[in-house]
Structure 1
Amino acid sequence: MSEGFVPPPPPDTAAAARFLQRIRLRHLTCFVAVAQERHLGRAAQRLHLTQPAVTKTLNELEALAGVRLVDRGRHGARLTPAGEQFLRRAVAVTDAMESAAAALSGAGAPSAPIRVGALPTVASVILPKAISRLQSTHKDTGVRVITGSNAVLLASLRAGELDLALGRMAEPEALQDVTFELLYTESLALVVRPGHPLTAYAGTAPMPAVLEYPMIVATAGTVPRHHTEVLLQRHGLSLPSGRIETLDVTLARTMARDGDAVWFTPERAPQTDLADGTLVRLPQPTPGTAEPVGVFRRATPDSATAVEEFAGILRELAVT
């Protein structure tokens, strides 16, 4: 043994045994509800309990665990690192109990919809075809789609609210207890209506000329927004004060189609409009803006057949 080496303390098996003897399903159900709702009051409503009852149950669980699991504050409830670790196991237990109850009642697991999260700029790319293909073989399987930012999707995935999520590659620290499978890579595109004044340029329109028109960009804190700002900085420019900021693809495409706005968007988001000619892409180079898009799943994913098949369909469509 090298000098200065301090072996880790042995696991406290007695404490673990006491925890297993005393913990009850109500503790786990309460904890999962608080983690998913991120608010004690909303968790209480969901569980049909009073907020003091939820607080008491949470306190009991933390006393049994011997560690703080949830930080409660004026702005809601946030899991501690220990709570994040415990949540994955708690969700697995509560999901298993729900499946067992469904089996006993004769209600099979297929009645539960697949819960899919997606970035707004990704949802319209391959999800419609993927859902249609899934339901051609699983007619009784519903699909519930939730859109949001990468951070929101990852939090919902960890909390057990989603079975999988379509998003952009995140920083390593954001991938704790989550896996990422690459589907495709896409760059930024500048999109306008047919006949837009910028399409009259024989080649690439100068970027200062582009900024003379209304500009539609993603909201702050997103990858497309970051790439837009970097692209402008390479031209010695910055975002204009009169820009339109949105993650709503329908709003962005409508404003670009019906006016003179220039939409700075991930290139696959408007692919239907580009294919049918309602929008056109300017020949503006966007080097260094390529970003990986893929499937996020919990490190210990649901093994439901329909979820696995849906993930396989997404893989197939990503390369077509």
Structure 2
Amino acid sequence: MAGVASSRIQLRHLTCFVAVAQERNLGRAAQRLHLTQPAVTKTLNELEQMAGMRLVERGRHGARLTPAGEYFLGHASAAVDAMTSAARALVAPGVPSVPVRVGALPTVASVLLPKAISQLHETYPELGVHVVTGVNDALLEGIRAGDLDLVVGRMTDPDVLQGIDFELLYTESLALVVRPEHPLTAFVEPVPMPRVLEFPLVVATTGTVPRRHTEVFLRRHGLTLPSGCVETLDVSVARTLARRSDSVWFTPERVPQTDLDDGTLVRLPQSAPGTAEPVGLFRRTSEAAAGVETLAGILRRLAAV
């Protein structure tokens, strides 16, 4: 898309393309842009003619990006975001107005994010924040599609991070957490793992990093997960079970920090070497809006404490 072709591409072409890519449907993209569907089709056709290649496959089941379209999306999104930020700066210099869209793993969302959002509002009281929780793959797709500005998650395979930056915040290992009155709190040394498995267990769901670490940890003791485990990524469910029963919660060590601080839960004296996992920030490889940069800076400071 160099030379004369790229010089003819206008913001309306990029805006239309990004809307179609995000909506995966020409009709919904048209509604979002307040255009007719034929107008969206015409604009896409113009863009593809200038590009000299097909960017979007249209069909009865919606619109799907071609490999060339997937590659172009990151550049188009960055251009649209930059123009939007420039326009906002003219209206209210230095004051972000578009809500910050943050994605986070359920086991990460309760750690730093609430305090970070509170501090963000001290700087920008009127700035909205939309928080989405989900699994890593879905959150990274949200970043890639431009639906999320920032994701707090766990490091993943570098092959899937094309166009996405990762910045390490901290690493954390697995912890075993129970209520203070739990029978296992009588142990001052590491509890024999067969004894731990005599109690109900709360573990992460299959396929997640904390679950894999839990299984590896048990295998090192010659054990496997027993039947009857509660499997959940919902921190509130896991926390409540640990507080109100004799369940043992296998969790990344920072997740229950508030409960540990106020004494409603305690950590068993078990070490879990080899289960450390990097947690950090994911963003598109482009300049972010002021609110996003401010929130990222707050998260860095909190993680360092």
User: Is TM more than 0.5 here?
Assistant: yes
SS at match of 2:152: strand
Task: Name the counterpart of 1:88.
Answer: 74
- Please report the TM-score for the alignment, with normalisation by the length of structure 1: 0.82
Distance, in Å, in 2 between the alignment partners of 1:134 and 1:289 is 32
SS at match of 2:125: coil
Q: Which amino acid aligns with 2:200?
A: P
Moved more, 159-168 or 201-210: 201-210
User: Is the alpha carbon distance of 1:270 and 1:64 closer, same or farther for their aligned partners in structure 2, counting shifts above 3 Å?
Assistant: same
User: Is the alpha carbon distance of 1:215 and 1:61 closer, same or farther for their aligned partners in structure 2, counting shifts above 3 Å?
Assistant: farther
* Aligned pairs for 1:128-167 within 5 A: 128-167=114-153
Give yes or no for contact 1:36–1:156 (8 Å, CA) kept in 2: no
* Aligned pairs for 1:32-181 within 5 A: 32-38=18-24, 43=29, 46-47=32-33, 58=44, 61-70=47-56, 79-99=65-85, 102=88, 106=91, 110-181=96-167
Distance, in Å, in 2 between the alignment partners of 1:156 and 1:208 is 42
RMSD between aligned residues: 2.9
Alpha-carbon deviation of 1:68? 4.4
Task: Name the counterpart of 2:304.
Answer: 319
Alpha-carbon deviation of 1:301? 2.7
Task: Name the counterpart of 1:247.
Answer: 233
1:271 aligns with 2:237: no
Unaligned runs of 5+ residues in structure 2 are none
Task: Name the counterpart of 1:285.
Answer: 271
Alpha-carbon deviation of 1:188? 0.7
Distance, in Å, in 2 between the alignment partners of 1:244 and 1:75 is 38
Distance, in Å, in 2 between the alignment partners of 1:116 and 1:209 is 40
Alpha-carbon deviation of 1:110? 1.8
Task: Name the counterpart of 1:306.
Answer: 291
Q: Which amino acid aligns with 2:298?
A: I
Deviations 1:65-100 (A, max 9, x none): 344445678987654443332111211232244345
Distance, in Å, in 1 between the alignment partners of 2:135 and 2:287 is 21
* Aligned pairs for 1:201-212 within 5 A: 201-212=187-198
SS at match of 2:72: helix
Task: Name the counterpart of 1:4.
Answer: none
Give yes or no for contact 1:192–1:256 (8 Å, CA) kept in 2: yes
Deviations 1:232-279 (A, max 9, x none): 221222233422222111111111111122211110000000111111
Identity %, equivalent residues = 70
Give yes or no for contact 1:163–1:301 (8 Å, CA) kept in 2: no
User: Is the alpha carbon distance of 1:27 and 1:283 closer, same or farther for their aligned partners in structure 2, counting shifts above 3 Å?
Assistant: same
Distance, in Å, in 2 between the alignment partners of 1:224 and 1:72 is 40
Give yes or no for contact 2:88–2:97 (8 Å, CA) kept in 1: no
Deviations 1:183-221 (A, max 9, x none): 111101111112122223453222233223222222222
1:194 aligns with 2:194: no
Give yes or no for contact 2:112–2:302 (8 Å, CA) kept in 1: yes
1:256 aligns with 2:206: no
Task: Name the counterpart of 2:5.
Answer: 18
Moved more, 158-167 or 203-212: 203-212
Deviations 1:147-195 (A, max 9, x none): 2222122111122222221111111112211111111111011111121
Unaligned runs of 5+ residues in structure 1 are 1-11
- Please report the TM-score for the alignment, with normalisation by the length of structure 2: 0.86
User: Is the alpha carbon distance of 1:217 and 1:103 closer, same or farther for their aligned partners in structure 2, counting shifts above 3 Å?
Assistant: same
Deviations 1:5-27 (A, max 9, x none): xxxxxxx75xx523543x45454
Distance, in Å, in 1 between the alignment partners of 2:106 and 2:40 is 34
Task: Name the counterpart of 1:8.
Answer: none
Distance, in Å, in 1 between the alignment partners of 2:63 and 2:193 is 45
Give yes or no for contact 1:185–1:290 (8 Å, CA) kept in 2: yes
